[in-house]
Chain A
Amino acid sequence: MMTSFFAGLLLAYAGMAALCLGMERHFKQVWQHLPSPGQRQALRLAGWALLAGSFAACVLAWGWAMGPVGWLGQVSLGGFLLLMLLPYWPRLAVLLPVFAAPWLGLVGVIQG
């Protein structure tokens, strides 16, 4: 359960980060240049796909009844964490899921 819980959290954060980067204002805030229309499209698609992945992880962790409740919480809190990090460390904020992924693997191994 812990593995899917943290996977859900990570995917929720990553999804929100991708959706955020899909907005011109924030893409520029992080990378100092404007995204191409294709990039924006791809980021938005990726964002929704990651959120869907997060939903699946929550259903795995809690089942169909509690999963959606937990998912909304994870997406909200993931978005809030991103909001708080973005103005201070923009690149770290959007790359955080990449750094966090190996830790998730560790949790998975410990939990078996």
Chain B
Amino acid sequence: MKQTLTQSMAWLHTWGGLVFGWLLFAIFLTGTLAVFDKELDLWMRPEVPAQKVEQSQALQRALEYLQAKHPQAERWNISLPSERSPTLGVSAGNQRRGGGELLNPQTGEPLAVRETAGGGFFFRFHFTLNMPRTLGIWLVGLAAMAMLVALVSGIVIHKKIFKEFFTFRPGKGQRSWLDGHNASAVLLLPFHLMITYTGLVIFLLIYMPAAVDALYGDREAFGRALRGAPVEQQAGRGGEQGARHERAERPRAAPAPLAALGPLLAEAEQQMGPLAGLSIDHPGRSDARIEVRPILGNRIELTKGRSMLFDGVNGAVLRAPAESRPSQLTQRVMAGLHFAQFGGYPMRWLYFLCGLVSSAMIASGLVLFCVKRRRKYASEAPAARRVSHLIEALNLAAVAGLSLACIGLLWANRLLPVELAQRAAWEVNAFFAVWLLSLLHALWRPTLRGWGEQLGLSALLCMALPLLSLLTLPEPWAQPLHQALELTSLALGMALAGLAWRVYRRQEAAPPLPRRGAVMQEAL
């Protein structure tokens, strides 16, 4: 049978959208939450004191602490409090090994902070799906390709893009779902295309390694080529490496006092914008080097690894911050557009809201699939009915269940005992346990009732989040960022409650769908 273009695109959109929709919803929702990863991180570490402290003062505390505890260390790393995160972190030795400590930025005392998966969990889940190695990254890439396919095929099958630009007719069943799905997709099309495409560009070299393999042979050589860049840097880099090289043969350099850091940071800030932290190589010796890093987001470009190098004794600039070459800049600007570190809180909120609408758009597509199918439900063969029910259950678990699991993670953070061993892992276990339970619940309950219950519970947990803090913390609501997060949770909870209420009313009105158990029996 010959099909028209629209028909084949509609088929592609329907089935491709369904199969990848579950995964895409998870990627989009966790990505949306990851927009506020540091804020979530802070919320999940309520022991961090609320007072705001100047960077210079915090730095002084950090230096005193490191001087007292690690005077012989080869390297000190300090991450300074900034607008988004008032924490002061220090570590000695190689930073990659981790194991740093959080200090009270006012007193310089180490903080006993609970172990937690943190807001970083949403960030990592967003692109790894919590899977080992690069498996998750490949799956997410595949889903992103499917998203691009769904967007383009969606544009082809949508006949009245401009005529129905603002059209939404609620309360009309399938019509309303289609309106909502179309309009949210069309109005936010720039965002959908941008976020999906730039997401793929971030892992460009994992997805398409051929060019790197052909040009450089191995990853190491490529990494070296990336690092050793423009000429004005070579001197600084060479000097640094030379210093490292000499160390093996020569005895330690003579002791020398550290340069005053104040003017040095001021200069770095003037050149690079607000600062995130610094590391000091060979502190207290004549070959000391100070590397200062800016926060991400002083420009659109994702400036990971950008820094300025100073002589640690006389404070001279050894290396100015590098500018990216055009090819690198292109990739980094795209990555930056995706990471949304630029433009401050207003931009962050725009990304968050756009992400929520995107997630809702994907969810509405999933629901639409079932609503359409339900109409022919009665005439289906038992086997097809079982498939329908399975799809309905997976939809429910993928959308409402994941929302429940996300808010469940925050509850687990407050409710699990603070001294629990491997607490962070238990929080993640709780997340997946809630998700699994929601799937079982979805398989067990009639569809609409299941939706009502899971949405209702999510709403309740979101709205009760401020209360949870009140019950579990000695000083709830002290931290302004906590207040903002809990108010946002309250607002989202109210939106979810509204949805749950509509589902409940709908369920009262609609003729009951046969229970899943009944269908199973029928099939047997």
Using CB atoms and an 8 Å cutoff, list the residues of chain A in contact with chain B.
1-2, 5, 16, 20, 23, 25-26, 61-62, 65-66, 69-70, 72-74, 76-77, 79-80, 82-84, 86-88
Taking a contact as CB atoms closer than 8 A, the residue among A69, A79, A82, A88 that contacts B347 in the complex is A69
Which of B164-172, B212-220, B221-229, B440-448 lies at the interface with chain A? B164-172
Q: Which B residues are CB-close (under 8 A) to A61?
A: 346
The answer to whether B190 and A87 have CB atoms under 8 Å apart is: no
In the complex, the chain A residue whose C-beta lies closest to that of B187 is: A79
Taking a contact as CB atoms closer than 8 A, the residue among B183, B189, B299, B354 that contacts A73 in the complex is B354
Complex Cα–Cα for A88 and B337 (A): 35
B469 at the interface (CB under 8 A from A): no
Residues 158-180 of B contacting A (Cβ, < 8 Å): 163, 165-170
Complex Cα–Cα for A20 and B187 (A): 12
Majority DSSP secondary structure for residues of B touching A: helix
A62, A72, A74, A83, most chain B CB atoms within 10 A: A83
In the complex, the chain B residue whose C-beta lies closest to that of A21 is: B166
Q: Which A residues are CB-close (under 8 A) to B190?
A: 72, 76
Nearest chain B CB to A44's CB is how many angstroms away? 12
The answer to whether B347 and A77 have CB atoms under 8 Å apart is: no
Nearest chain A CB to B330's CB is how many angstroms away? 14
A2, A25, A87, most chain B CB atoms within 10 A: A87
The answer to whether B166 and A82 have CB atoms under 8 Å apart is: yes
The answer to whether B354 and A62 have CB atoms under 8 Å apart is: no
Q: Which A residues are CB-close (under 8 A) to B342?
A: 66
Taking a contact as CB atoms closer than 8 A, the residue among A16, A23, A70, A77 that contacts B357 in the complex is A77
Complex Cα–Cα for A23 and B350 (A): 27
In the complex, the chain B residue whose C-beta lies closest to that of A65 is: B300
Complex Cα–Cα for A69 and B191 (A): 9
A69 with B170: in contact, given A76-B188, A77-B350 (CB under 8 Å)? no
The answer to whether A77 and B353 have CB atoms under 8 Å apart is: yes
B351 at the interface (CB under 8 A from A): yes
Complex Cα–Cα for A52 and B190 (A): 17
A83 with B191: in contact, given A62-B347, A69-B347, A73-B351 (CB under 8 Å)? no
The answer to whether B184 and A70 have CB atoms under 8 Å apart is: no
**Could you give, for residues 327-359 of chain B, a 1 whenever the CB lies within 8 Å of some chain A CB and a 0 otherwise?**
000000000010000111011001101100100
Complex Cα–Cα for A77 and B350 (A): 8
A70 with B350: in contact, given A65-B300, A76-B190, A80-B187 (CB under 8 Å)? yes
Q: Which B residues are CB-close (under 8 A) to A76?
A: 187-191, 354, 357
**Could you give, for residues 175-214 of chain B, a 1 whenever the CB lies within 8 Å of some chain A CB and a 0 otherwise?**
0000000011001111100100000000000000000000
Complex Cα–Cα for A87 and B166 (A): 10
A23, A69, A77, most chain B CB atoms within 10 A: A69
In the complex, the chain A residue whose C-beta lies closest to that of B169 is: A87
Complex Cα–Cα for A23 and B165 (A): 10
